[in-house]
């Protein structure tokens, strides 16, 4: 477990938005999706998911509804709103530029002239 | 996925939902782990460990959701309000005439309130923009036994008060002075003030340019200094270079040390301020002649008006003991007032009366609109009942009505502020002497806040009655009744009746008030001032002491001027005096009569005094009722002579002949004639003895006289000719305030006239509103009773009976209103006492006029609907059902 990565700040929101681009999900399903994609390499404190979900709901990025799961249990499903979709696009491009810049810094050779 | 629930809508639901959501998560994980082979116990521990602090997460999510919930609720409410407003707007624009009538009615009420409130603010709440104005007090003297009421303090008294640092943080006194200054090449006489003590400090004023006084500026023998008002500075040059320069005032050099900002204007007429230079002659207890208007002090912290009064009584007692001749004889006391109260002076009762009137007008407007709305909502009872049947709550329907009236009130408020602004602009362009506050009116934050409050209150008052009625309406009954059967319930009728009564009562109050002030003004205008003001102009002349030293030089000048003025074609007579009525000068003195001891009960022998030269009595048209007027021989003769007025004779002589008796105190002289009583400065003033001294014997110490010219010329031509005559004698002399005497008298009525006009305007407005209000209600009542009337007609009722039946209703209500209004006036009218002249509060003419006017209008308002009732066709009326 020691080589599992702690989640960087702010990325959880992005992950949730990405997960929900596939369709409405409940909180546990979002986590399962992240686990599956990352092969469980990210260590997420699962409780942190819910404040993030509710905050994005408040901002109007997500809408929430109670519904039934496949095995007939009551669960709260979140779905991306149009606003959320736009937010995701914006944040994603910021994130990509950030990663590029970070990679340039971290892979730099030689001191500045 | 099937949807089964909507968003949480209550706090409790929020809590349960979060719990369910988190539980679902944890249980899901546990099942997953158990399915992967873990024991249930371990699985539960593992799931919780992965989750973290459940309680903390729950609390955080709950906080987020609570905020979300709040926002949603607010948004829903705003949306509902918006829908209501849209609905109301559509409803109102469908009946544009009705809406315009209502908005206009409210706008008149609100606009009038805005304008009058700004007057209240300028007079009573925010005069002069002086910081912490509540700490300022004014002190004046009162000598009741000498009939010198509410009079100026002496410079010495002012200095004693200033030295009392235990009472005042700072103190000052001031008095007016008129000086000649050359403006644009022409000599002009301008009004300024001489000040004692820390004048500007007390008022918290700072100069725009330059500096204010220093203590040494008022020392004897130093160069005189002057502070200019912004207005005078603009007239002189408008150039800051004037600061430090010397200008000539009355021919003497004065160094300009500072210029005040444009918004500093105390006293309002001041064009300049100079420190009082106190030589020893002023520092006597009796040196009251050099008038200081009042002492004004900034009270020490912790001092109250009451405690100050106690301290000043103690001080006055000290003076009584030390100087019994100066203080005890007159029964001296000091009058303390807050500065605001003192300045408000005679403007206060007028402003308060207008404010009361305008509040009544607004109440009438509100009652009026409320009954209109109620009548309208009666017509809409079916609409509301349908909405209620479709599930709208009573609260929702009441809210709908309140929103609608609020919309009307806000529209009325906006229009009212515009009207109010127009009214203020009009008022501030009026030049009303003694009502200087008009120049200070403005529509500031306080006034707008007041207006906003008024609008909201008006909206609530107007909306609450119909809203209450609609919310209480019985849905079943309304829907089951046929056609127009949405008949008003008893509560609605009760409200309409009360509204008619209220409008009539308030209108009567306004009408009686207006009638009383109109009659007072009338009495004043008809009162005899004792002289004939028509065809007379007058102006002041001050001979500078350097060029006209001594008696002979002055008499020579006035003789020469007299000759030149007489020579003007059209001039009938010319005279001079110090102490011309309504011209703001003259003094007063104690007198004694040789050989005529005071009669028992005779008041202190104190008289106003005037100094007279030339044909003064003829020029003024003052009748000599006994003896003779002054002659040229009197002016140049060996012994001084005096003319007294009939008040003095009545007071001191009784039936004895005054001619030949010597006045020994005040300037002495032998009485040669008795003149008619003249009003000195106010048509409403009580009579006070007056002594005319002959100027021939007083020219040695008096260098200022007012010239009085009676002619057939128009005032402006007479003044022009007089100006040329003066310039021919001495081009450096200025005419001070040349005007027609009748205009001066008229000025003193300005505030009263304005108050009367505005009050009468409000009364007419309320009369119109009352007419419309009664008419609307009666029309409604008739329309509601159409069926009943039809039946009566069908059964053989005579038209006159029908008309009487309809009218009786309205007339009875109006009569009740009149009665209530009359009784209320008995209580409230007393507050008007100080505004009245020559009529009592219970003046029968005013009361009868008002009752007749309002009664007549009400009968007309009831007659029109009654006429319609008479024409009801029974067949039509019954078929309509």
Q: What is the pLDDT of residues B691-708, one digit of tens each?
A: 999 999 988 888 889 999
Q: What is the torsion angle, in degrees rounded to the nearest 10, for the CA atoms of residue B472, residue B473, residue B477 and residue B479?
A: -140
| Radius of gyration over every alpha carbon of chain A, rounded to an integer in angstroms | 17
**Minimum distance, in Å, between the CA of residue A87 and any CA atom of chain B:** 19
CB-count exposure of residue B599 (10 Å: 0-12, 13-18, 19+): exposed
| HEC sequence for B756-786 | HHHHHHHHHHHHHHHHHHHHHHHHHHHHHCH
ipTM of the complex: 0.88
In terms of Cβ atoms closer than 10 Å to its own Cβ (0-12, 13-18, 19+), residue B523 is middle
What's the confidence (pLDDT) of residue A40? 82
Among B777, B77, B83, B785, residue whose Cα is nearest residue B387: B83
pLDDT for A2 equals 39
- B24 and A73 within 8 Å at the Cβ level: the answer is yes
Q: How confident is residue B685, by pLDDT bands cut at 50, 70 and 90?
A: confident
Nearest to B51 among A46, A74, A77 (CB): A46
Distance CA B871, CA B881 (A): 18
Distance from C-alpha of B573 to C-alpha of B500, rounded to nearest angstrom:
62
Better-scored residue on pLDDT, B442 or B597: B597
Q: For residue A50, list chain B residues with Cβ-Cβ distance below 8 A.
A: 18, 21-22, 25, 57, 60-61
- Residue B242, classified by CB atoms within 10 Å of its CB into exposed (0-12), middle (13-18) or buried (19+), is middle
B121-167 per-position pLDDT tens digit: 887 777 677 778 888 999 988 887 766 777 778 888 888 899 998 99
Using an 8 Å Cβ cutoff, are B741 and B678 in contact?
no
Which of B50, B52, B65 lies at the smallest CB-CB distance from A54? B65
Q: Which of B363-367, B369-373, B675-679 has the highest mean pLDDT?
A: B675-679
Nearest CA to CA, how far is B82 from chain A (Å)? Answer: 22
Question: Are β-strands B641-645 and B606-614 bridged in parallel, bridged antiparallel, or unpaired?
Answer: unpaired
Contacts of B52 in chain A (CB under 8 A): 45-48
Tokens of B815: 């009569």
pLDDT single digits (tens) B431-483: 776 666 777 777 888 888 988 898 888 888 888 877 777 666 666 666 665 44
Under an 8 A CB cutoff, do A67 and B28 touch? no
User: Using one digit for the tens of pLDDT, what is the confidence trace for B705-735?
Assistant: 999 999 999 999 999 999 999 999 999 888 8
For the residues B608-627, what does the mean pLDDT come to? 94
* Lowest-confidence pick of A3-12, B48-57, B261-270: A3-12
Task: Annotate B391-408 with b (16+ C-beta within 10 A) or e (fewer).
Answer: eeebeebbbbbbbbbbbb
Question: Radius of gyration (Cα) for chain B, nearest Å?
Answer: 39
How far from A66 is each of A77, B2, B12, B32, B813, CA to CA, in Å?
Answer: 6, 8, 16, 22, 64
DSSP string, B647-715: HHHHHHTTTS--TTPEE-SSS-EEEEEEE----SS-TTPPP--EEEEEGGGTTTT--EEEEEEEESS-H
What is the rounded end-to-end Cα distance, in angstroms, of chain B? 58
pLDDT at B256 over 60: yes
Nearest neighbour of A28 by CB, restricted to B5, B25, B52: B25
- Min mean pLDDT across B53-57, B446-450, B662-666 is at B662-666
**Cβ proximity of B181 and B248 under 8 Å:** yes
Which chain A positions have a beta carbon within 8 Å of B67's beta carbon? Answer: 58
Of B24, B51, B61, the CB nearest to A51: B61
Q: Which of chain B's residues have a Cβ under 8 Å away from the Cβ of A64?
A: 7
Tokens of B263: 């918004």
| Residue B541 · residue B704 · CB < 8 Å | yes
- B1:A24 CB<8 A: yes
Q: Alpha helix locations (H) across B441-530?
A: 445-472, 475-480, 490-526
| Tokens linked to B578 | 């110090």
Inspect the interface and report whether the beta carbons of B2 and A67 lie closer than 8 Å: yes
Q: Which tokens belong to B78? A: 């705003």
> How distant is the Cα of A19 from the closest Cα of chain B, in angstroms?
17
Question: Which burial class, exposed, middle or buried, applies to B613 when counting CB atoms under 10 A from its CB (0-12, 13-18, 19+)?
Answer: buried
Q: Which of A45, A65, A75 sits opposite B24 (nearest CB)?
A: A75
SS (H, E, C) A77-88: EEEECHHHHHHH
Question: Which two structure tokens, joined as six digits, stand for A52?
Answer: 């993030």
The pLDDT value recorded for residue B289 is 56
| A22 contacts in chain B (CB < 8 Å) | none
E runs forming strands in B168-293: 168-183, 186-197, 209-210, 224-228, 246-249, 252-259, 272-275
Report the chain A residue with the minimal C-alpha distance to residue B24. A75
Q: Are the C-beta atoms of residues B558 and B705 closer than 8 Å to each other?
A: yes
Q: Taking an 8 Å Cβ-Cβ cutoff, which residues of chain B contact chain A? A: 1-7, 17-18, 20-22, 24-25, 28-29, 50-54, 56-57, 60-61, 64-65, 67-68, 71
Select from A43, A50, A81 the residue whose CB has the most chain B CBs within 10 Å, as the one to mutate to test that interface: A50
Nearest CA among B362, B363, B365, B357 for reference residue B514: B357
> Hey, which residues does B707 pair with through a beta bridge?
B539, B576
More confident residue, B287 or B845: B845
Number of C-beta neighbours around residue B875 at 10 A: 11
List CB contacts (< 8 A) between B19 and chain A.
none
Task: State whether B4 and A74 contact (CB < 8 Å).
Answer: yes
Q: Residue A82 has what pLDDT?
A: 94
Contact A47 B5 (CB under 8 A): no
User: What DSSP character marks residue B603?
Assistant: P
- Shortest alpha-carbon distance between residue A108 and chain B (Å): 37
Determine which of A23, A69, A76 to mutate to test the interface with B (most B C-beta atoms within 10 Å). A76
pLDDT tens digits along B201-252: 898 888 999 998 887 887 777 888 999 999 899 988 888 899 999 998 877 8
Q: What's the predicted TM-score (pTM) here?
A: 0.73
Q: Nearest by CB to B52, from A26, A27, A47: name it.
A: A47
Give me the residues paired with residue B143 across strands.
Answer: B148
User: What's the Cα-to-Cα distance from B245 to each of B225, B241, B272, rounded to whole Å?
Assistant: 10, 8, 15
Are B558 and B576 spatial neighbours (Cβ–Cβ below 8 Å)?
A: yes
Instruction: Spell out which residues of chain A touch residue B50, defining contact as CB-CB under 8 Å.
Output: 45-46
B5 and A66 within 8 Å at the Cβ level: the answer is yes
> Closest Cα to residue B179, out of B251, B256, B258?
B251
CB A82 within 8 A of CB A62: no
Task: Identify which has the larger pLDDT, B287 or B83.
Answer: B83
- Which residue, chain included where needed, has tokens 């409050």? B453
Angle among Cα B78, B79, B82 to the nearest 5 degrees reads 85
Strands, E assignment, B557-660:
571-578, 587-590, 606-614, 624-627, 641-645
Q: How many residues does chain A have?
A: 113
Q: Which helix (H) or strand (E) holds B382?
A: helix B381-389
Considering only CB atoms, B68 lies closest to which of A28, A57, A75, namely A57
Write out chain A's pLDDT in tens, 113 residues.
334 555 666 788 899 999 999 999 999 999 999 989 888 888 788 888 999 999 999 999 999 999 898 888 889 999 999 999 999 999 899 889 988 998 999 888 766 55
Q: What is the pLDDT of residue B6?
A: 47
How does the average pLDDT of chain B come out, rounded? 85
What 3-state class would DSSP assign to B99? helix
- Taking CA–CA distances from A72, the nearest residue in chain B reads B1
């Amino acid at each position: 477990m020691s080589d599992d990565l702690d989640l960087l700040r702010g990325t959880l929101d992005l992950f949730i938005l990405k997960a929900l681009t596939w369709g409405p999900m409940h909180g546990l399903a979002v986590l399962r999706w992240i686990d599956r994609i990352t092969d469980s390499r990210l260590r997420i404190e699962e409780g942190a998911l819910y404040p993030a979900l509710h905050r994005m709901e408040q901002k109007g990025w997500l809408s929430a509804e109670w519904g039934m799961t496949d095995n007939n249990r009551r669960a709260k499903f979140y779905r991306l709103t149009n606003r959320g979709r736009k937010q995701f696009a914006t944040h994603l491009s910021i994130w990509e530029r950030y990663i590029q810049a970070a990679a340039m810094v971290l892979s730099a050779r030689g001191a500045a002239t | 996925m099937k949807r089964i629930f909507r968003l949480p809508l209550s706090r409790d639901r929020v809590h349960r939902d979060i719990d369910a959501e988190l539980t679902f998560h944890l249980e899901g994980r546990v099942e997953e782990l158990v399915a992967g082979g873990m024991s249930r116990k371990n699985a539960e521990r593992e799931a919780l460990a992965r989750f973290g602090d459940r309680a903390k997460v729950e609390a955080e999510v709950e906080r987020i959701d609570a905020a979300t919930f709040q926002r949603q609720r607010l948004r829903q409410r705003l949306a509902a309000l918006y829908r209501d407003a849209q609905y109301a707007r559509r409803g109102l624009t469908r009946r544009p005439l009705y809406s315009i009538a209502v908005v206009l009615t409210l706008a008149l009420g609100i606009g009038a309130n805005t304008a009058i409130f700004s007057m209240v603010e300028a007079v009573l709440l925010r005069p002069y923009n002086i910081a912490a104005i509540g700490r300022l007090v004014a002190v004046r003297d009162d000598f009741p036994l000498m009939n010198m009421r509410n009079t100026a303090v002496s410079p010495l008294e002012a200095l004693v008060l200033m030295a009392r640092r235990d009472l005042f943080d700072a103190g000052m006194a001031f008095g007016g002075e008129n000086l000649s200054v050359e403006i644009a090449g022409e000599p002009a006489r301008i009004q300024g003030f001489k000040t004692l003590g820390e004048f500007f400090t007390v008022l918290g004023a700072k100069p725009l340019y330059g500096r204010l006084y220093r203590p040494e500026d008022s020392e004897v023998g130093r160069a005189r200094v002057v502070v200019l008002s912004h207005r005078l500075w603009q007239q002189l040059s408008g150039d800051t270079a004037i600061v430090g320069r010397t200008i000539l005032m009355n021919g003497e050099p004065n160094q300009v040390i500072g210029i005040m900002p444009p918004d500093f204007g105390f006293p309002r007429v001041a064009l300049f301020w100079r420190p009082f230079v106190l030589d020893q002659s002023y520092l006597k207890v009796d040196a009251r002649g050099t008038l200081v208007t009042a002492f004004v002090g900034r009270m020490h912290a912790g001092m109250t008006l009451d405690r100050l009064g106690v301290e000043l009584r103690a001080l006055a007692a000290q003076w009584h003991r030390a100087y019994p001749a100066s203080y005890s004889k007159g029964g001296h006391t000091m009058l303390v007032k807050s500065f605001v109260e003192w300045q408000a002076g005679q403007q206060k009762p007028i402003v308060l009366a207008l404010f009361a009137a305008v509040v009544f007008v607004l109440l009438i407007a509100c009652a009026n609109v409320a009954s209109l709305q109620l009548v309208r909502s009666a017509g809409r009872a079916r609409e509301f009942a349908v909405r209620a049947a479709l599930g709208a709550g009573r609260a929702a329907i009441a809210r709908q009505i309140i929103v609608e009236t609020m919309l009307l009130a806000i529209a009325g408020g906006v229009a009212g502020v515009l009207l109010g602004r127009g009214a203020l602009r009009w008022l501030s362009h009026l030049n009303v002497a003694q009502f200087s506050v008009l120049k200070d009116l403005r529509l500031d934050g306080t006034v707008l806040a007041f207006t906003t409050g008024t609008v909201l209150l008006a909206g609530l008052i107007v909306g609450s009655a119909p809203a209450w009625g609609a919310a209480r309406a019985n849905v079943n009954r309304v829907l089951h009744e046929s056609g127009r059967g949405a008949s008003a319930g008893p509560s609605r009728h009760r409200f309409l009746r009360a509204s008619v009564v209220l409008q009539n009562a308030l209108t009567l109050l306004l009408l009686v008030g207006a009638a009383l002030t109109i009659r007072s003004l009338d009495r004043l205008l008809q009162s005899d001032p004792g002289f004939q003001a028509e065809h007379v102009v007058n102006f002041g002349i001050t001979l500078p002491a350097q060029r006209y030293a001594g008696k002979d030089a002055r008499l020579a000048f006035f003789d020469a001027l007299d000759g030149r003025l007489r020579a003007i074609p059209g001039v009938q007579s010319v005279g001079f005096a110090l102490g011309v009525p309504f011209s703001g000068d003259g003094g007063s003195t104690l007198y004694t009569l040789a050989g005529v001891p005071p009669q028992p009960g005779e008041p202190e022998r104190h008289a106003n005094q005037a100094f007279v030269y030339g044909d003064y009595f003829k020029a003024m048209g003052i009748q000599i009722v006994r003896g003779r007027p002054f002659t040229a021989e009197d002016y140049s003769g060996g012994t001084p002579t005096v003319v007294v007025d009939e008040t003095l004779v009545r007071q001191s002589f009784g039936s004895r002949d005054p001619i030949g008796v010597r006045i020994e105190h005040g300037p002495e002289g032998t009485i040669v004639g008795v003149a008619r009583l003249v009003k000195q400065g106010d048509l409403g003033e009580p009579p006070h003895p007056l002594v005319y001294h002959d100027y021939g014997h007083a020219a040695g110490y008096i260098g200022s006289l007012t010239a009085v010219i009676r002619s057939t010329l128009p005032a402006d031509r007479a003044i022009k000719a007089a100006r040329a005559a003066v310039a021919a004698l001495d081009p450096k002399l200025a005419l001070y305030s040349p005007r027609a005497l009748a205009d001066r008298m008229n000025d003193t009525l300005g505030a009263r006239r304005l108050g009367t006009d505005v009050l009468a305007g409000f009364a007419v407005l309320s009369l119109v509103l009352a007419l419309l209000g009664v008419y609307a209600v009666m029309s409604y009542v008739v329309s509601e009773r159409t069926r009943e009337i039809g039946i009566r007609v069908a059964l053989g009722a005579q038209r006159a009976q029908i008309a009487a039946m309809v009218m009786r209703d309205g007339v009875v209500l109006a009569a009740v209103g009149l009665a209530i209004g009359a009784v209320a006036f008995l209580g409230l009218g007393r507050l008007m006492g100080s505004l009245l002249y020559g009529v009592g509060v219970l003046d029968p003419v005013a009361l009868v006029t008002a009752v007749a006017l309002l009664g007549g209008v009400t009968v007309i308002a009831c007659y029109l609907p009654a006429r319609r009732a008479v024409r009801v066709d029974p067949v039509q009326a019954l078929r309509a059902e």
